[in-house]
């Protein structure tokens, strides 16, 4: 089996000397100007609705961003590059997609028929232009910081953030479009409805997910050096096609007729059109995550030093849920300070693992950091950052939260289905 990770170089060169960096900066600046003009028009016509949309959808970005950050726990990507990926999605991909998708939909109407464009225009034009424009964002990251893309998971992370940036800006544009269409003036009700539909109900199976899949393909193309070019290009193409197909399915008119207009019908559409790609992509992302985690945990296991990492901690470090369980266990046994220290220990262990993969001779500093956190934990009476016994309180809390979420979702579905 091939290595899951191609280690980066210890001290990557600054991208400022790369011509590609300045091309990307120019593209971002052009996108920023274009989207600022659109935002200024929105603010002039519907100031309250625009500010509400900006606030709500900015909040919506937070859980997505945190999820991606947790995926990225072991080998963290530089914040600047994450911001570039997000900005590419929100500024470049959107400003390219607005004229491109409209033109393609027009061409479908001209070369096909207005009926074909009414049924399939949004399903074919949007995904075709948008998925290409977003995937180019991950390519841009490779061009300016190739040494940072050293696993398939890195491609997933950058792709997801490009998709998130696109999703947030597109949602804001749709929300203000709904305000204009409603013809009620500067009202926030259409913004709230758009937030519920596009943010809550449709948000999970949207651009972040499609971007993650296409990004995985670019990640594979870059790091799968033990495979031939033909296979790598094919796999990247398949990933992009998968993202496109998921997007087409979501936008398609399938299941639109025949299920009525109620909450059950809406739920059925979400499940049939959204759930299969969601489960498939989450499975692929999980595999990419686990392969990367295995690689880095093996670097730490190779040290054979329980002061740096114990057997139980090796098991916990490779999984997001187990890392969280270890932090909860620390809080239950030794308080909030222990919880924070466990998080710091886990971060230090992750940094050490990455340094061991890149330049073992430079890893002493990180070993010292790990030992320092270990000493703090020991002083707090909780020497090992491992999961505790599964507590009924946590299970009850998870079940309760899920029940509340389903109830909120059902109320929203009923309100929207009945509207």
Kindly tell me which of 233 and 406 has the beta carbon lying closer to another protein. 233
Instruction: Compare residues 231 and 378 and give the one whose CB is closer to another protein.
Output: 231
3-class secondary structure, 276: helix
- Which CB, 19 or 304, lies closer to another protein? 19
Residue closer to another protein (CB basis): 1 or 111: 111
From 139, 254, 280, 301, residue interacting with another protein (rule: CB under 8 A): 139
- Segment interacting with another protein (CB under 8 A) among 7-15, 190-198, 279-287, 305-313: 7-15
Give the count of residues interacting with another protein (CB under 8 A): 61
Q: Which residue in the set 47, 177, 360, 400 belongs to the binding site for another protein (CB under 8 A)?
A: 360
Q: Which of 256, 251, 243, 274 is nearest to 121 (CA)?
A: 251
Q: Does 78 bind another protein (CB under 8 A)?
A: no
Among 54, 60, 61, 142, binds another protein (CB under 8 A): 142
Q: Which one, 93 or 334, has the nearer CB to another protein?
A: 93
User: How far is the C-alpha of 303 from the C-alpha of 419, rounded, in Å?
Assistant: 61
CA-CA distance, 219 to 141, in Å (whole number)? 11
Can residue 84 be called a binding residue for another protein (CB under 8 A)?
no
The encoded tokens of residue 217 equal 């393909």
Q: Does 96 bind another protein (CB under 8 A)?
A: yes
Q: Rounded to the nearest 10 degrees, what angle do helices 207-223 and 122-144 cross at?
A: 40
CB-based contacts of 3, cutoff 8 Å, min separation 6:
226, 295
Asked if 292 contacts 75 with a C-beta cutoff of 8 angstroms, the reply is yes
Phi, psi of 385 (to 5 degrees): -90, 75
The kind and range of the H/E element at 392 are helix 392-418
Q: Under DSSP, is residue 260 helix (H, G, I), strand (E, B) or coil?
A: coil
Determine, following the binding rule CB under 8 A, whether residue 2 of this chain makes contact with another protein: no
Is residue 55 close enough to count as binding another protein by CB under 8 A? Answer: no
Contact status, residue 299 vs residue 357, Cβ threshold 8 Å = yes
What is the smallest separation between the CB atom of 71 and another protein, expressed in angstroms? 21
Q: Which is nearer to another protein, 126 or 277 (CB)?
A: 126
Give the integer Cα–Cα distance in Å for 308 and 313.
Answer: 9
List the one residue from 41, 231, 283, 333 that touches another protein (CB under 8 A).
41
Contact between 114 and another protein per CB under 8 A: yes
Per CB under 8 A, which of residues 270..309 are in contact with another protein?
none
- Does 10 interact with another protein (rule: CB under 8 A)? yes
Question: What is the smallest separation between the CB atom of 389 and another protein, expressed in angstroms?
Answer: 39
The correct pick among 35, 54, 85, 117 for binding another protein (CB under 8 A) is 117
Min separation Cβ 384 and another protein, Å: 28
Task: Read off the tokens for 192.
Answer: 């709230």
Q: How many CB atoms lie within 10 A of CB 76?
A: 14
262 binds another protein (CB under 8 A): no
Query: What is the C-alpha separation between 257 and 45, in angstroms, rounded?
Result: 35
Least distance between another protein and beta carbon 142 (Å) = 7
Structure tokens, 109: 């109407």
User: Closest CB to another protein among 183 and 304?
Assistant: 183
How many of the other CB atoms lie within 10 Å of CB of 94?
A: 25
Out of 28, 39, 48, 143, the residue judged to bind another protein by CB under 8 A: 143
Sketch the per residue contact string, 198 through 227, with another protein: x for CB under 8 A, - otherwise. ------------------------xx-x--
From residue 296, how far is each of 74, 290, 353, 419 by CA, in Å? 8, 10, 5, 51
In angstroms, the CA 353 to CA 355 distance is 5
Whichever of 17 and 390 has its CB closer to another protein, that residue is 17
Q: How many helices (H) and strands (E) does the chain have?
A: 17, 0
Q: What track of x and - describes contact with another protein for positions 157 through 186 (by CB under 8 A)?
A: -----------------------xxxxxx-
Query: Smallest distance, Å, CB 123 to another protein?
Result: 13
- List Cα–Cα distances, 244 to 119, 127, 201, 240, 277, in angstroms: 17, 6, 20, 6, 11
Contacting residues toward another protein, per CB under 8 A: 6-10, 18-20, 23-24, 27, 41, 44-46, 92, 95-97, 99-100, 102-104, 106-107, 109-111, 113-115, 117-118, 121, 129, 132-133, 136, 139-140, 142-144, 146-147, 150, 180-185, 222-223, 225, 257, 358-361
């Amino acid at each position: 089996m091939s290595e899951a990770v191609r280690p980066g170089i210890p001290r990557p060169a600054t991208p400022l000397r790369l011509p590609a960096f300045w091309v990307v900066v120019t593209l971002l600046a052009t996108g920023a100007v274009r989207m600022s003009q659109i935002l200024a028009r929105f603010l002039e016509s519907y100031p309250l609705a625009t500010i509400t949309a900006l606030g709500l959808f900015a909040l919506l970005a937070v859980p997505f961003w945190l999820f991606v950050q947790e995926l990225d726990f072991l080998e963290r990507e530089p914040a600047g590059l994450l911001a570039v990926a997000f900005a590419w999605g929100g500024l470049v991909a959107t400003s390219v997609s607005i004229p491109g998708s409209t033109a393609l939909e027009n061409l479908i109407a001209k070369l096909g028929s207005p009926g074909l464009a009414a049924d399939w225009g949004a399903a074919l034009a949007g995904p075709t232009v948008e998925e290409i424009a977003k995937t180019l964002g991950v390519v841009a990251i490779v061009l300016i910081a190739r040494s940072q893309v050293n696993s398939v998971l890195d491609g997933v992370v950058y792709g997801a953030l490009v998709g998130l940036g696109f999703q947030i800006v597109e949602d804001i544009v749709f929300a203000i479009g709904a305000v204009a269409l409603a013809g009620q003036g500067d009202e926030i009700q259409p913004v709230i409805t758009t937030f519920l539909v596009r943010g809550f109900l449709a948000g999970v199976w949207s651009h972040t997910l499609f971007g993650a899949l296409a990004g995985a393909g670019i990640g594979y193309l870059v790091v799968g050096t033990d495979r031939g070019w033909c296979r790598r290009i094919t796999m990247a193409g398949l990933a992009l096609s998968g993202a496109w197909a998921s997007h087409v399915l979501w936008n398609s008119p399938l299941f639109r007729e025949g299920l009525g207009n109620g909450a059950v019908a809406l739920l059925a559409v979400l499940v049939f059109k959204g759930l299969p790609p969601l489960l498939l992509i989450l499975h692929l992302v999980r595999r990419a995550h686990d392969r990367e985690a295995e690689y880095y945990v093996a670097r730490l296991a190779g040290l054979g030093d329980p002061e740096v990492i114990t057997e139980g901690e090796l098991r916990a470090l490779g999984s997001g849920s187990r890392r969280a369980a270890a932090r909860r266990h620390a809080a239950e046994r030794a308080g909030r300070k222990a919880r924070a220290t466990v998080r710091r220990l886990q971060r230090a262990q992750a940094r050490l693992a990455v340094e061991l993969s890149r330049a073992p001779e430079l890893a002493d500093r990180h070993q010292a950091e790990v030992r320092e956190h270990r000493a703090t934990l020991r002083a707090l009476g909780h020497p090992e950052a491992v999961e505790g016994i599964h507590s009924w309180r946590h299970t009850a809390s998870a079940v309760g939260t899920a029940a509340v979420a389903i109830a909120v979702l059902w109320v929203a579905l009923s309100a929207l289905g009945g509207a």
